[in-house]
């Protein structure tokens, strides 16, 4: 799983220089960088996320792993310890928060 994320980040870094794709790719790469850094520091992240219904929601998450375009997280804002998969392409923004979390599972980012 870690290799999948590293490959994706490497690909995103490689095509950042492509002027036709620069803006959306840079934004996605920046959001992923924030999430990965926060996970490694055991810090929560506040994301703005577009649900499948099109509704925009905010969530405080703890990120654990990545696979096949999905970021696996817990929703720490509502105390839900259930792992859920979020599409990385639906993450609109990400901000690392100051508060830390105690990992319930191994972090593979």
Specify if 106 maps to a domain: no
Q: Give the structural domain span for 68.
A: 2-100
For 22-60, what is each residue's pLDDT tens digit? 556 667 788 999 999 999 999 999 999 999 999 999 999
Quote the pLDDT of residue 65: 92
Specify if 58 maps to a domain: yes
User: What average pLDDT does range 79-86 have in this prediction?
Assistant: 83
Quote the pLDDT of residue 76: 75
Total of domains in the chain: 1
Q: What is the CATH number of the domain that holds 65?
A: 2.30.30.100
Sign of the CA dihedral running 4, 85, 108, 33: positive
Indicate the pTM of the whole model. 0.75
């Amino acid at each position: 799983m870690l290799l999948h994320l590293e490959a994706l980040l490497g690909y995103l870094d490689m095509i950042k220089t492509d002027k036709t794709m620069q803006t959306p790719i840079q934004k996605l790469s920046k959001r992923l960088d924030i999430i990965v850094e926060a996970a490694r520091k055991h810090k929560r992240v506040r994301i703005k996320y577009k649900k499948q219904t099109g509704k925009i929601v905010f969530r405080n998450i703890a990120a654990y792993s990545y696979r096949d375009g999905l970021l696996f997280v817990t929703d720490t804002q509502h105390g839900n310890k259930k792992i859920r998969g979020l599409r990385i392409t639906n993450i609109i923004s990400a901000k690392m928060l100051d508060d830390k979390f105690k990992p319930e599972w191994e972090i593979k980012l």
